[in-house]
Amino acid sequence: MKSIQTDILVIGAGSGGLSVAAGAVQMGARVVLLEGHKMGGDCLNYGCVPSKALIASGKAAYGQAHSAQYGVADAVPDVDYAAAKDHVADVIATIAPVDSVERFEGLGVEVIREYGAFISPTEVQAGDTVITARRIVIATGSSPLVPPISGLDSVPYLTNETLFDLRERPDHLLIVGGGPIGMEMAQAHRRLGSRVTVIEGEKALANDDPETAAIVLDALRGEGVEIEEGAKATEIRGKAGAIEVEAEDGRVFKGTHLLMAVGRKSNVDRLDLGKAGIETTKRGIKVDDRLKTTNSRAYAIGDVAGGLQFTHLANYHAGIIIRSAVLGIPAKAKTSHIPWATYTAPELAQVGLTEAQARDAHGGKLEVVRHEYSHNDRAIAERTTRGLIKVMVVKGRPVGASIAGAHAGELIGLWALALANNMKMSQIAGMVAPYPTIGEVNKRAAGAYFSPRLFDSLWVKRAVRFVQRWLP
């Protein structure tokens, strides 16, 4: 048995773990990184990267079929589904070197390609190696949640971990789950020529603002995606090419392929956390606001920490760990400024409180300002006028923003900045955006907050008349 001593042990080479390892080693810490599966984790291999690549293929096909509005004749796209998957694989391969063993070993990280399990509060065994660490960072991520639905174990099904290996286009894809993964893959496959039915037990895109989510869902339905809400799957039966999903209310949905997209579960089973004195919850590892576990020497970040499950959150968590575990600077994590986006067309994005949440929290102090994409000149020029931005404002400061529309995932960054820095609406209104850009919708939303104060105020009108009389 080989023994290693190190300053920082990182378990898991997904986005968060890699960020911790790279930052810590470049600052002078000794770092060991464990990964028993693929470098880059879920995001690179099964999640963010391949899904956006396939969405790009779908966008290209949709553009060919809907170009007449720009003066270019519509054409029936000749979709090669296998070639689209080749595009996905090429995108992954292009990004992979950044997350590779070779890069991290070049930085000075000792990379061990084994899963790790605790054998004491400060020791982890990986294969034939025992690592003793001053600080341990658990960054093992999450995996697709496969619920115990009757019959599912005898029917072939896909998850995000197997979908991108599929080479033949599904004739009719059934998707159980109407969250971001389900809706993104629904639209991408519909645009690539599949018939698609989404089966959602409650409301599709339920974690987003209902008004902005409705814009996206209406667009998907307009493209032919069948979205069945209030359809809790209770039984699945059939065989490859002929699958049936029966809902609790008796509805039956038939298709050729099945994608399970009902959520994620934290990866904790291999870790033997009990030997380290690390407690878990139903959602993952129990952590405090410093991301420390119940073992004072161990931290958990990203999906496995049981909160929001986003790559950018894992990277944010990594920054907290660098400050606290590497530099010894007290740092706490918060979530109020963490944005998220669903990359459908139109896109859907959120940061902070939704309108309903803000009303519950702030009552009569809340003001909601709105701006429609249909008033944006760039959106008009590009025929992308379906969209809305809503900003929730309390005492002159934004507490949340909801956007549905073109480039919503890009636009939400400004409001994430505002929430992170407790900015005022006046600071957003003071920004000068280049014309014509979709980005102007952010400035216009801020302007909508001040418009009634300036244009509908009797006091302002009287003051202006007074000034005009006395100006030379």
**Binding site members for FAD:** 52, 116, 140-142, 303
Angle between helices 408-420 and 440-455 (to 10 degrees): 60
Burial 348-358 (b: 16+ CB within 10 A, else e): bbbbbbbbeeb
Q: Residue 244: beta bridge partners?
A: 237, 254
420 sits in which H/E element: helix 408-420
Distances (CA, A) of 391 to 29, 74, 151, 207: 43, 37, 45, 17
Residue list, annotated binding site: 52, 116, 140-142, 177-184, 200, 263, 303
Distances (CA, A) of 110 to 7, 37, 80: 12, 16, 42
d(CA 399, CA 122): 41
Angle between helices 440-455 and 458-470 (to 10 degrees): 80
165 sits in which H/E element: none
Distances (CA, A) of 325 to 7, 26, 118, 120, 288: 9, 14, 19, 19, 14
352 sits in which H/E element: strand 347-352
Q: What is the identity of the amino acid at 224?
A: G
Residue list, annotated binding site for NAD(+): 177-184, 200, 263
Q: Given the structure tokens 């966008």, which residue do they identify? A: 59
d(CA 451, CA 7): 56
Q: How far is CA 202 from the centre of its chain?
A: 20
